[in-house]
């Protein structure tokens, strides 16, 4: 049994499956990145939803140094501090007034179209990565009232949100949001162009038009005209348009965690299998 756990020898055929690793605070150092590459990490992902370009540039320079030392090539993927305690059965107001400070009763969001998109009974989640309302790092909210620019929600679970930036996930609701936000535009146009990123992961891809828009955006940035775009399918809207998205994308990322919000777990697996078959074909 112990031999099964040992790393495969170099003489073995390389595995088809590739490992994408997001480089964060615990994996920024040369030593840790070197260990990741030796453990067969194939792609390093930089998530610009947190921290500044200078921090990511330092991480990238460490990655470049490790690539030279280990002779292992790793492509680069670019995407796009407080604690807030929420109590079950309390209410919280989601407001588009970004000038207000976040608290356990009020949560500013940078999307003024939410009040028009949701209605009483709809489900929203707030967190950083996982959104289930049951894993202690995300809040499960149920809309009880829409009042002007504010959305009043009932908190369905007790949780403490920590970090400097959170994501609002509206379950099975079509939102009129730009494919590439102003913040994404700034990071890609500066840091992305400076470092000639290999891939762009397009979060929450909804349809083929999202892909075409992103492709046109990159083609106007000169050095990034050859950057490949991976469509990240994260909701039912994108899953329903999978075939058309596939025609425009260099690759597909199935975010089963987010899909598990819109779909029962067994249906996530059932939808993943035919998607993988289409990718192979």
pLDDT in tens, 102-126: 889 999 888 888 888 889 999 888 8
Has residue 89 been placed in a domain?
yes
Residues 253 and 126 in one domain: no
The pLDDT of residue 168 is above 70 = yes
Question: Is residue 108 one of the residues assigned to a domain?
Answer: yes
**pLDDT over 80 (residue 61):** yes
**Quick check: is 3 in a domain?**
no
Q: Which CATH number does the domain housing residue 43 bear? A: 3.20.20.60
The CATH number linked to 132 is: 2.40.33.10
| 145 Cβ neighbours under 8 A, 6+ residues apart | 120, 151, 152
Tell whether the model's pLDDT for residue 138 goes beyond 50.
yes
Q: In this structure, are 95 and 156 located in the same domain?
A: yes
How much is the pLDDT for 93? 94
pLDDT at 275 exceeding the cut of 70: no
- Over residues 65-83, the mean pLDDT reads 65
State whether 96 and 64 are in the same domain.
no
- Whether the per-residue pLDDT at 3 is higher than 60: the answer is no
pTM: predicted TM-score of the whole model, two decimal places: 0.62
Q: Tell me: the pLDDT tens digits for 139-164?
A: 889 999 999 889 999 999 888 887 66
For the chain, what is the domain count?
2
pLDDT at 39: 84
- Asked if pLDDT for residue 18 goes beyond 80, the answer is no
User: Quick check: 44 pLDDT over 90?
Assistant: no
Higher-scoring residue by pLDDT: 17, 179: 179
**DSSP character for 216?**
H
Query: Does 202 fall in a domain?
Result: yes
pLDDT of residue 145: 94
Collapse the DSSP code of 42 into the 3-class scheme (helix H, G, I; strand E, B; otherwise coil) and give the result: strand
CA 3 to centroid of chain Cα atoms: 36
The answer to whether the CB of 218 falls within 8 A of the CB of 200 is yes
Helices and strands, number each (H, E), in the chain: 10, 14
Flag whether pLDDT at 80 surpasses 50. no
Q: Are residues 183 and 267 in the same domain?
A: yes
Q: Are residues 75 and 64 in the same domain?
A: yes
Statement to judge: residues 20 and 101 lie in one domain: no
Nearest to 168 by CA among 122, 206, 101: 122
In tens, the pLDDT along 214-273 reads 999 998 888 788 899 999 988 888 888 999 999 999 988 888 777 877 777 777 777 676
Full residue range of the structural domain in which residue 129 is found: 82-170
Which tokens is 129 given? 């990565």
> What mean pLDDT is predicted for residues 36-40?
85
pLDDT band at 13 (very low <50, low <70, confident <90, very high): very low
Question: With pLDDT > 70 as the criterion, what percentage of the chain qualifies?
Answer: 81
What pLDDT is attached to residue 197?
87
Quick one: 76 and 35 in the same domain?
yes
Tokens of 26: 């615990």
**Is there a single domain that holds both residue 49 and residue 129?**
no
Distance CA 230, CA 105 (A): 37
Same domain, 190 and 156: no
């Amino acid at each position: 049994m112990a031999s099964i756990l040992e790393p495969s020898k170099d003489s073995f055929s390389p595995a088809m499956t590739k490992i994408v690793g997001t480089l964060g605070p615990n994996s920024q150092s040369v030593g840790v990145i070197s260990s990741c590459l030796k453990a067969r990490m194939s792609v390093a992902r930089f998530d610009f939803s947190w921290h500044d370009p200078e921090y990511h540039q330092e991480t990238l320079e460490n990655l470049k140094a490790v690539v030279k030392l280990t002779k292992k090539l790793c492509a680069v993927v670019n995407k796009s501090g407080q604690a807030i305690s929420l109590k079950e059965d309390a209410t919280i107001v989601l407001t588009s007034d970004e000038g207000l400070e976040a608290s356990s009763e009020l949560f500013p969001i940078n999307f003024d179209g939410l009040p028009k998109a949701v209605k009483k009974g709809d489900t929203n989640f707030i967190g950083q990565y996982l959104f289930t309302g049951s894993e202690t790092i995300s809040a499960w909210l149920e809309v009880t009232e829409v009042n002007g620019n504010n959305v009043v929600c009932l908190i369905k679970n007790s949780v403490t949100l920590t970090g400097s930036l959170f994501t609002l996930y509206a379950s099975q609701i079509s939102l009129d949001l730009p494919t590439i936000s102003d913040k994404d535009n700034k990071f890609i146009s500066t840091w992305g162009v400076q470092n000639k990123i290999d891939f762009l992961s397009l979060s929450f891809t909804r349809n083929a038009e999202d892909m075409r828009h992103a492709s046109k955006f990159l083609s106007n940035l000169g050095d990034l005209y050859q950057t490949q775009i991976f469509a990240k399918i994260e909701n039912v809207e994108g899953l329903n348009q999978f075939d058309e998205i596939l025609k425009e994308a260099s690759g597909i990322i199935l975010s089963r965690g987010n899909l598990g919000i819109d779909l029962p777990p067994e249906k996530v697996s059932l939808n993943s299998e035919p998607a993988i078959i289409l990718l192979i074909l």
